[in-house]
Amino acid sequence: MLSFLAMVVIATLLMLFRMPVAFAMGLTGAMGLIVQLGLTPALSTLERTFFSSTSSFILVAIPLFILMAELLTAGNVTRRAIIACQAWIGHMRGGLAVAAIGASVILAALIGSSTASAAAMASSAFPEMRRYKYDERLAAAVISVGGTLAVMVPPSIVLVVYGILTETSIGQLFIAGIVPGLLTASGLMVAIMIIARRKNYAPKGPPFELKRAVRESVGVWPASILIAVVIGAIYGGLTSPSEAAALGVMGAVILGLVQRALRPQGVMKAFDTSIRSTVMIIAIVACSAIFTNYLAFTQVTQSIMEAVNNSGLPRYAILMLIMAVLLVAGMVMDQLAILSLAMPLAFPAIKGLDFDPIWFGIIVTKTVEIGLLTPPFGLNAYVTAGQTGVRLNSVFQGLIPFIIVDIVVLGLLIAFPQITLFLPQMMR
């Protein structure tokens, strides 16, 4: 245990000196293995661990889902989704903000990245809301919270990484995220309508025109059908997540070519972004595996499980403690870094308490989603403030009612696991 505590201190110091979390974990795990086993056995273990953790076929899903999202973005689908949602419901009081949430759900399925979704909304939906005299705090908050839906709505990269780190079915995680994602979006829309009615922060948008709404929707349907086919293929057991991701990439390319929206520069940027993001995620997976191996040799995981079992606390009290730690971590850390740090320790304890790993994955994802909005380092709030020019304090003030909605939804998901599990159970 003393060796483990020393390694924790070293890892913390490395992160304080701005070393990426993945490399801090990997280096600490490697040092710990050398201390425990000696140099030669440790190097042999590191070689085996690195190869086994990075050669899994399921990892192919990561670059393919990212590439699908980047190709759809390069094909201008994201902008069309925003315009289409605004054409249908932008005429109501608070309608532009509600449309922004609706567009965020579509972007979440198309992009899979919370920061990218927030950035896209900030450049398109925010100017429209300001043009119609929306309160800037509400407009910026809607952009920030809408982006977090990409963490939950499939195909979510966070769910992919959780599935890989915990050896949980990614297909079932994707299906499990659908209802919680839609429940969150519905709660946010209700909150917007209440705020718009009570505080007059959100005037009505342009008058509704059926012809315009239909016309603007034409360019969105093909991409929406593509996402439905990808998720439906996983749900129906027709393909694995990796195969579905490959199908999605092929569909994105065909859509871009048919709609004449793909340009060589956009395609090159899509590949560049996909490679960079994939390398970062694979590094997290590999270094987390090294750290997990170190924990196995030191038997820290077993000690934690014994302590949990002997604590006498109800299992839901232990779950709440884990959620509180993750929520605090979410205020200062990136969501993938939280997963790589927390899952090697928390997941064995959760399994020992007989919680469903699919359900726990959605709970963790929801908690991480809230962390993207909370001060002092809510990542989406920073992205929105930078993109829109709204003061960071104003963004955080506007987010308060939406954070409350997210916490209520999290409570519902914890209290009623079937909200999350009924769709995955139909797959089994």
Beta strands in 240-282 (DSSP E): none
The model's confidence at residue 405, banded by pLDDT at 50, 70 and 90, is very high
- Residue 333's pLDDT is 66
- Taking the alpha carbons at both ends of the chain, their separation in whole angstroms is 40
Among 379, 377, 83, which Cα is nearest to 214's? 83
Q: What is the pLDDT of residues 341-369, one digit of tens each?
A: 778 778 888 887 888 999 999 998 888 88
- Residue 183's pLDDT is 92
Q: What is the pLDDT of residues 15-38, one digit of tens each?
A: 777 777 678 878 888 888 888 888
CA 387 – CA 133 distance, rounded (Å)? 18
Q: What is the pLDDT of residues 382-400, one digit of tens each?
A: 778 877 788 888 888 888 8
The model's confidence at residue 281, banded by pLDDT at 50, 70 and 90, is confident
The model's confidence at residue 256, banded by pLDDT at 50, 70 and 90, is confident
With beta carbons less than 8 A apart as the criterion, state whether 157 and 112 touch.
yes
Among 397, 322, 356, 289, which Cα is nearest to 29's? 289
Looking at every residue in the chain, the average pLDDT score rounds to: 79
Residue 93: phi and psi, rounded to 5, are -65, 120
CA 278 – CA 112 distance, rounded (Å)? 13
What share of residues in the chain are helix, strand, coil (percent, to 5)?
Answer: 80, 0, 20
- Residue 305's pLDDT is 62
* Most confident among 94-98, 171-175, 269-273, 275-279 (mean pLDDT): 171-175
- Residue 362's pLDDT is 93
pTM, 2 dp: 0.77
The model's confidence at residue 377, banded by pLDDT at 50, 70 and 90, is low
Share of the chain above pLDDT 90, in %: 7
Q: What is the pLDDT of residues 144-190, one digit of tens each?
A: 888 888 788 877 778 888 888 888 888 888 889 889 988 999 999 88
